[in-house]
Structure 1
């Protein structure tokens, strides 16, 4: 049986021998605890039982006498404490038995009863016997401290051996995801291994659209890639294989083509075909004498044979042609002489007519000159009149202009006065705005002061409570000293009780000191927490005065630092640090993977600081690739969405650079490795990255940030 809580009632232990009746409490019927003897009837009661009875009535519980008296029954107390009892864990196997004075020490001591059930010291929630506690804490408790065999961090067993840590431990050994021969690869080295893994699915760097294992990439680039660079064996220009072997063959000026007449020469360069046709023996040509009438055509090699065979016909054609030419010349000569005589006669007539016409013109010119002299005199008179009128009109116009100028000057002065009033009003508004800003700053300063006062007040209250606690502790210690003195006096009278009392007091003092140490620790912890909160509040108030650019830069830096595999949803911010070194060393930055949404498509971003293969070193290249993800079998294909990649302005949430790229249709299909779905070989020039103005800056602390926005169109 367990001992009653708070010492109430008698001893409920299992006694080796039945206690005498005079030791039994007449209320609870157990051996009395702190026995009291009633003066009226001499019966024995437990002190706690008697106090409970007195709260109901002042009469004796046995004889019912009013206002009865009691004394401590010291003889009964000594007799009861010397009685032998069994351990309360006897049914569980404990064979201990001893005096009532010793059972408390037996049950409460760690070296005592090994069958007593206690709670696990690691607070795992289990209760077990003391004899099993050591092995449980060392080998079985789920909250025992153990070291991870891979990363060597210390933590609770249930965490270290649990699914969560094994999924996150950077040193946990894994097999290659591509099932190559490499095994026992630390998780943090998986990405590096995949960059060299022969079974990793890679995309051809020539952008031919082919995805294949890395071990076959060299052979593909050397002999199978349609976009590999080769030279034409005829004209020796360099180009892609599919161009050289396709379209170029139809245009190459050195490509050998067969003679259109299929002569014995066979094939000739395309540029030399026309020259060859001028000498080709099978080319059909006209007879050399076609100008004189021979209309036959023959192969060039048969021309001499034709001339021999048709020699008489050719001579006949030539004779007829000469005769015709002689007749034509004679006829044309006669006609020419007649025409020339006619033209000479007509020219003489035209010359006489022209002389007569010229004499008439001279007479008209003399008459016109006399009229011109008369008109010149009239014109001089009119000019003088016009000049006089113009001077009068000029005087009138000058007066009008002077009047209008005066009016315009007055209007301008009035407008200037109105503008001056508006300027004064604007200055007043600006002054009021500055005053409001100053008031706002004063209010914030007052709030900060009040917050510090509250914190100081809280700290003072805690100090006061700590002082009160120390005062109570001192009072308690004084009470304890007084109790010790009283016990010392009682020791002289009761030698038998001295040893037991000292042991109980020592235990009480130890527990008291432990409790006070816990109180002091809790108070110190609370003070530390309040000081930490005060510092955080001060930092928060100081953060109010951050500039917009500082807050924006902190936002993008914080967002980029949280990027991790499997828990991000686009839009996502990606950081590329050490930009200068990566550009110099031509390093390609592969980000961690991320998802379009929870349970969505898996992607990663590739940034080439020095341009991509086939691109240009003066520009930065960006690629967005689709990866094989754990949810691909439940998703809809092909992937349908719209991508935007921005280079972020690090001092303001505006003026970001939106890159223009191209989509690859093949990159939106369900894949087994990785496929480029969006790319921009000339995302932004290196010169523009380094440009800095008061409102924007892309490169800061040798780092740049990209934001990926992917809008997914759901196919229902």
Structure 2
């Protein structure tokens, strides 16, 4: 009987039996070997307990036998048949899938249900992932394929379900390496460090800390803040107050008292500090000024630089004005003299008429004479002061105003004439005094009468003398103005020279500062490039030195760095095309290598096509270019490792066997695929690693990757 399915819910045993069960064991209702068999007393047929109960539920005659229809239907439990049926041998229900198990009915449940039972039985994944598969694949599925298997994150090492780790967790893992969102040169940045990286990333968009509203890349922030930001705190280069760059360059520059501005008259002075413009205008050669002889009548206005030219051109006119002024002064003096003569005549007449009164007024006349003497002394003192001032002025202006010399000579002559006239007046006064003395006895009474008139005359003379002195002071002031103008011109020249030196010094300082800034920026850029170059060099050296980062097909470069004095020489060899070599069942030779610089030459041979399920590894000694200088036979000890390609741990190490004849110098022997000759293998391992273990992949270990393996040969020179 061949049955394809299994049912545990009721009815007979639906298994495929090795031998056909006896008819007496078969249920007459379900036609399968009975489960919990009952024997009918009426007809002797066997029924399953569940089949009888089902038949009673569906038939209208519940007490009749389902076979013979005897109403006296009675059944008894057939325990002997039950034991016999349970001891029958059956095939596994998964026979068609490949299971070769045979056993009693009592054992099939355990065979199908136990974890170490039928490997072809369909079971559900124990991780509740919902996957149904054969038991033989359950372990591999649970350990390597199940999306709900427990794995460790290779970055942060927390444990969780594979599906969670690979999907949701990988998007949040703080240790997961990601690239910079700004696509800068940095890579493999931990997710938890991305915020710190962005604080230093040169391509990160940042806002100016001065709140100027500018957004720019971080690599340009320093330059912007120090040199370009409109709200940068800077010092005014003119008055040195501190403020924002925008304010200093805008509003403040329009008001800065030290800001250099052009002369309003557009003179040759390049620039003048704003608060010195008024002082500059007092010396500006283009400023319109009054003629320095306006006090004597010249009303023309000219540029300050044309003053000397004007004086030269108008010299005669100025002398005319001065002569007229002196003439007026002389005329005034003559008028005074005439008035004095008239007064003298009147006094003489009055003295004659009032001689009797002269004695009474003698004392008063003496006082009047003394007053006149004092006035004369004051006039003499004024004369001396005027002479001294003229001498001083003549000495100061001798080199710069030769053209006015004649004018001053004429003025001095005119003054001398006036002095002479004053001397004559004095002589007349003295004569009058002598005559008065002669007649003082007669005039004593008259003087008493004319006391008031004499006082009035004295006042008038005093006023006239004061006017004369004021005119002389005016001339003196003109001369002082000339001297002052010369002094101002000299100061203007000195100031202009000082300003020029200051401007040149400021320009030189600014230029030097700019050069320093450029040199600093260039030095900084050179330092950055040197740092990057050093980092790239370190990365290249790391790639060369670390076999986990980069693998070499040949190891001559690595071997050339070693010396014969090294005790342990690691050599890494890459073997490619594993699948092809395994299927072709051919010898798989590596590239040749030296175990040290100018040392022994060797190669590896891998045979992956053995039916035993293991990969065999041989180490051959080859004929090399330095054999004449080496010691024979070769002595030492080697270890061959199969390297883990995703971690620096869990490497597979296998200590094989040595052959002494393989350590001798190569003169003849087998020829490898490259055409080079080698002797017999000096070391071999016939069960280096099984193909199952080689192809197995775990989260922390993978030997076969990209159809290639890496073998590391560690050879220790010396006695074995």
TM-score interval, normalised by the smaller of the two chains: 0.3 to 0.5
Q: Which has the larger radius of gyration?
A: 2
The TM-score normalised by the length of structure 1 is 0.42
